[in-house]
Structure 1
Amino acid sequence: MQCTPMPEASAGRDRPIRSIEVRVPATSANLGPGFDSMGIALDLWNDFRLTLGASHDGITVVVTGEGEDSLPRDGEHLVLATLLAELHQAGVAAPTSLRLECINEIPSASGLGSSSSAVVAGLAMAAALIQSARSGRCIGPHEIDLHHVLSRAVEIEGHGDNVTPAIHGGLQVVYSHGDHYRNRAIPIPPMKVVVCVPNFAYLTSEARAALPSTISHADAVFNIGHAMLVVEALRGQDEALLSDALQDALHERYRIPSIPGATAARQAALDAGASAVCLSGAGPG
């Protein structure tokens, strides 16, 4: 994530925020066995720009690209809904005039973290406005409290495998520590990822409903071992190991039957020379 608060034109950072620009990458979560705990950022972006004090009071939302025919154009837009809820919770008055511009490359309901990108953007904007209101100046990009953004994002999304790489980039492992969430970046070389996104939406809520309420000890052990191997394979660019590692016993077998063409797409990828194949997040990509 890149978040850049900007003061009024020709003014220093001792002036209030005039606009905020946020870039958030697409993410692929789970990576097979790393269910709800592992994710990677992709070079596909949603760009958001929030401008305060436009020519008239109220909310204006402009959406270009993915979702331009379906996303809300008011305070129900997930970026603004997240932003306004955070301001209210912090006791900071919401601006009377807001303009949100969105340039979206991430398809909605595709398993590529589109909702996470919106939540993260809204939280980052809120953090900048709250810290600016309390300090009386336009804060710099590196002053945003990313630990707070991560914790709130996990609370809102319910899991951290998408939001963590959306915030920090790269390959990330997220885990709980008491009442807090922490992350660990795993350095890996650049890699090529091919994403196949079918022309239909598959909501995370639907994908979660397909999962069993309990799992066996054997399946849990299977995933723990394979998740460790995924990290090692990606760090060492070991394609043979990745092929063995990217297997799952907790979620894919329950979700793939609800995704038409998923089995054929997996086989086509392997036949074309892919090292390994997995669902991206909850799917359908």
Structure 2
Amino acid sequence: MLEVIVPATSANIGPGYDCLGIALNLYNKFYFCEIEKGLIIDEKEEEYINKDNLVYKSMMYFFNKIKPKKIPKGIKIKIVDDVPISRGLGSSATCIVAGLLAANYLSNSHLDKSEILKLATEIEGHPDNVTPALYGNMIISLIEDNKIIHDTIKIPEIIRFCAIIPDFELSTEKARSVLPKTIDHKDGVFNVSRATLLVTAFMNKNLDLLKIACKDKFHQDYRSPLIKDYDKVVNHANKLNALGTFLSGAGPTIMSLTTDDDTKFIDEMESFLSTLDDKWIIKDLHCDLKGARVNILD
């Protein structure tokens, strides 16, 4: 049996729209077995037990694109998913990466991670989530001349990523539909300066700069009205002296940065969240440094 473990990711991180992403220590686990024929999917969500399952579709994409000599006659997939779906935490990226890594192993194709990344980006459409899902850490990624360029940004170990997750979903398609087709020059300058500051603040451990560096003009102002009580949650996080707060991916998860020394933030935020109409939970997370991994089980 093949086990593939893929971390959740948070993309954009404020001003880094479609280019910044970070892997987090929250994981989806996938188990693969070759069987005589057909497809068996063991998954708690019934709507994903079919050939449209993104893990399976990613495997088929691999086989059709790479055309390996060995293709399994049948596949059994078991999914143990701890990453919430449609919450802006990269659940789709975990499925894509897992499917590609499994197909790579089961077909004896021996593609390296850079080749897997290329396929994952073709499926996902952009590399901001799949790159940290594969490699771990915080990563800046972009496409230049059809090549994926990426580099790692070291995050201070003391940083906690407090994922504030509501019990309602927000589809990426809907979140993208509200974005403007063009942006003002001043907004471009605003985001370039903040994104640059965000990187240097992390690298130089100037954590007091993160509150300013997490500000954004590209997407958060347009998407936040889609998220009930967004302003209340962000304002309260600021009141509790979060280092910075931003929309995780396309939302609706809101991410607040604190440090391991801050022992009050989560308890006080949970107390506040309990007063809201919808149910919100907080996951206390840190940066994952390893990215996706493949294990061979007995």
Q: Normalising to structure 1: TM-score of the pair?
A: 0.84
Deviation string, structure 1 residues 83-107 (Cα, Å, up to 9, x no partner): 0122122224642221101111100
* Cα distance in 2, alignment partners of residues 24 and 220 from structure 1: 33
Residue 162 of structure 2 corresponds to residue 162 of structure 1: no
Residue 233 of structure 2 corresponds to residue 257 of structure 1: no
**1:226 aligned to which of 182, 194, 215:** 194
Residue 242 of structure 2 corresponds to residue 274 of structure 1: yes
Q: Which residue of 2 aligns with 1:5?
A: none
**1:122 aligned to which of 71, 94, 99:** 99
Contact 1:28–1:280 under 8 Å retained in 2: yes
Identity of aligned residues (%): 35
* Cα distance in 2, alignment partners of residues 40 and 276 from structure 1: 15
Deviation string, structure 1 residues 127-147 (Cα, Å, up to 9, x no partner): 2234x15xxxxxxxxx54111
SS of the residue 1:47 aligns to: strand
Q: Which residue of 2 aligns with 1:61?
A: 41
Give the letter aligned to residue 124 of structure 2. E
> What is the CA distance between 1:233 and its match in structure 2?
1.3
**2:114 aligned to which of 119, 134, 147:** 147
> What is the CA distance between 1:163 and its match in structure 2?
0.9
* Cα distance in 1, alignment partners of residues 47 and 232 from structure 2: 31
SS of the residue 1:197 aligns to: strand
* Cα distance in 2, alignment partners of residues 145 and 275 from structure 1: 37
* Cα distance in 1, alignment partners of residues 243 and 57 from structure 2: 40
Contact 2:140–2:152 under 8 Å retained in 1: yes
Contact 1:28–1:39 under 8 Å retained in 2: yes
When residues 107 and 71 of structure 1 are mapped into structure 2, their CA distance, relative to the original with a 3 A threshold, is farther
Give the letter aligned to residue 241 of structure 1. L
* Cα distance in 1, alignment partners of residues 238 and 47 from structure 2: 35
Q: Normalising to structure 2: TM-score of the pair?
A: 0.80
SS of the residue 1:153 aligns to: helix
> What is the CA distance between 1:254 and its match in structure 2?
0.4
Q: Which residue of 2 aligns with 1:205?
A: 173
Residue 77 of structure 2 corresponds to residue 95 of structure 1: no
Give the letter aligned to residue 278 of structure 1. F
Contact 1:170–1:186 under 8 Å retained in 2: yes
> What is the CA distance between 1:28 and its match in structure 2?
0.6
| Structure 1 stretches of 4+ moved >4 Å | none
Between Structure 1 and Structure 2, which shows a larger proportion of strand residues? 2
Instruction: Report the RMSD for the aligned CA atoms in angstroms.
Output: 1.5
> What is the CA distance between 1:70 and its match in structure 2?
4.4
Contact 2:62–2:119 under 8 Å retained in 1: no
* Cα distance in 1, alignment partners of residues 47 and 153 from structure 2: 34
Residue 48 of structure 2 corresponds to residue 72 of structure 1: yes
Deviation string, structure 1 residues 167-221 (Cα, Å, up to 9, x no partner): 1101100022211112101122222111111111101111000101111121111
The farther-off stretch of 38-47 and 265-274 is 265-274
Residue 15 of structure 2 corresponds to residue 39 of structure 1: no
Structure 1: stretches of 5+ with no match in the other structure? 1-18, 134-142
The farther-off stretch of 95-104 and 248-257 is 95-104
SS of the residue 1:277 aligns to: strand
When residues 70 and 275 of structure 1 are mapped into structure 2, their CA distance, relative to the original with a 3 A threshold, is farther
Residue 152 of structure 2 corresponds to residue 176 of structure 1: no
SS of the residue 1:75 aligns to: coil
Give the letter aligned to residue 45 of structure 2. D
Q: Alignment length, in residue pairs?
A: 251
Give the letter aligned to residue 98 of structure 1. I
Contact 1:176–1:182 under 8 Å retained in 2: yes
Contact 1:84–1:94 under 8 Å retained in 2: no
